[in-house]
Structure 1
């Protein structure tokens, strides 16, 4: 809690209005643009055209910064001690690096000297206001051209209707129904996360290193990928070799027994070492396990199956006692028989990797 002697924190808009010379032109206009349309239904371009005005400079001196002056015009009913977006009629910005007048203006200096003399002695502002019409259009287009090809600013201005759908479409996720299914449930995968890995998702095959990097960055835990994990797969009776059947060549296509050993259909995903709370999230039906299944399904479809092995830190592998009460600070997760319950008489010397389950199985 702040003390009475402590000065209140000054917002970035208040700093900009008090000392505009400390800000660059593009950053200042970007901040004012978002501040003026905050809480309204207007878009950024509408706020720039209607409530943000650009004026010509009459100064012939060397500019100390990109912004020469910034003036706030308040509404009559607005307060004088505080500035809110609703109290502002318009904000006038005088850039020092471009325009029709001033030391960097395109017109000869005679026009600047004449208009400065008329304003100083006759209080005539009409000529400068006329030239400000062209200044407004030129500077507005200059700012919009600067912002057009900067993806971060495009995403900031209209992330849901313009930028994000285009990036997701590149990854094959242009359908809203598919994205809604991925977002559903406790382990939902949000659109922003999918857009971050759009370049990886659009590949026909995802390498093991890329898959490991994606899972590490998304979940924030250590991940190891072990390929070609062998597993016994049952065979239907019609696939076994019998007497009197054709095409039962020994060493070629003859099969004996009810199952076959294969190593090309399964990967082992090792997560950890994990603390107790994170370990609980990745147990079956947990939010982390659901998100993991959705990501793996999205990356490989139904061509592979995965063996998930959870590695619990030895510090969190605590023993279980009968009649225990609610989990406390020493054990932040609940007991689940067969997953995080251990019978031990001494502290663990290694991380436990007993928890194993399968997802995305094709059998």
Structure 2
């Protein structure tokens, strides 16, 4: 069945973060010409047991190599037809954001860069998309799970540090989700490294 997902060769055996037997379970979702965000979401929700939303059509930038940049005055460079101004252009087809709704601070920490679940997430997403998309991960936490940074407690600067809540913020719905952080997958590095 792994032949359907394109990773049936001996070169792929035992190289992925997610075990090969687990990946075979997801073959029906990975099979098909169209890789929809619905199938990606289903696969990730089943694997991790958390609610995950896939946001499509996120604006990103396409960088043009120097040899592909337009030059006024040359043939085939007509303004309004085939001329590109600048070194990059906006696109809405090259990037997605995965919104992971974590139930607790421990679950949130497991999805931070360098952790096991983040490596599994990256492995599954790159296996599904082929690495052709930019992927950001937004981690969400219930408001009650976010505590202010204080002396004598463990906090990770930039990941789990927050300002203490004011009295007015404390009256807000504590079940409401708050975007705790957002980071991008490093697509330049091999996904087998888990970074």
Query: Smaller-chain TM-score range?
Result: 0.7 to 0.9
2:152 alignment partner in structure 1:
324
Question: Aligned ranges for residues 191-340 of structure 1 at < 5 Å?
Answer: 191-321=20-150, 323-325=151-153, 334-340=154-160
Kindly name which structure, 1 or 2, has the bigger radius of gyration based on alpha carbons.
1
Give the superposition deviation at 1:205.
Answer: 2.7
Tell me how far apart the structure 2 counterparts of residues 274 and 249 of structure 1 sit (CA, whole Å): 54
Residues 84-125 of structure 1: per-residue CA shift (max 9 Å, x gap): xxxxxxxxxxxxxxxxxxxxxxxxxxxxxxxxxxxxxxxxxx
For the Cα contact (< 8 Å) 2:70–2:85, is it kept in 1? yes
Q: Please, what is the CA RMSD of the aligned residues?
A: 2.2
Aligned structure 1 segments of 4 or more residues deviating by more than 4 angstroms: none
TM-score, normalised with respect to structure 2: 0.82
Is 1:174–2:2 an aligned residue pair? no
Show structure 2 runs of 5+ residues with no match. Answer: 189-195
Contact map agreement 2:30 2:39 (CA 8 A) in 1: no
Deviation at 1:179, TM superposition (A): 3.2
| Deviation at residue 233 of structure 1 after TM alignment | 3.1
Secondary structure in 2 matching 1:337: coil
Aligned pairs for 1:1-363 (under 5 A) are: 167-182=1-16, 188-321=17-150, 323-325=151-153, 334-346=154-166, 347=169, 349=172, 350-359=176-185, 361=187
* Preserved contact between residue 222 and residue 272 of structure 1 (Cα < 8 Å): yes
Checking the alignment, whether the CA contact within 8 Å between 1:172 and 1:202 is kept in structure 2 is: no
* 8 A Cα contact 2:148 2:164, kept in partner: yes
Count of residue correspondences: 182
Separation in structure 2 between the aligned mates of residue 342 and residue 356 of structure 1, nearest angstrom: 14
Flag the structure with more relative contact order, 1 or 2, with Cα contacts below 8 A and sequence separation at least 6.
2
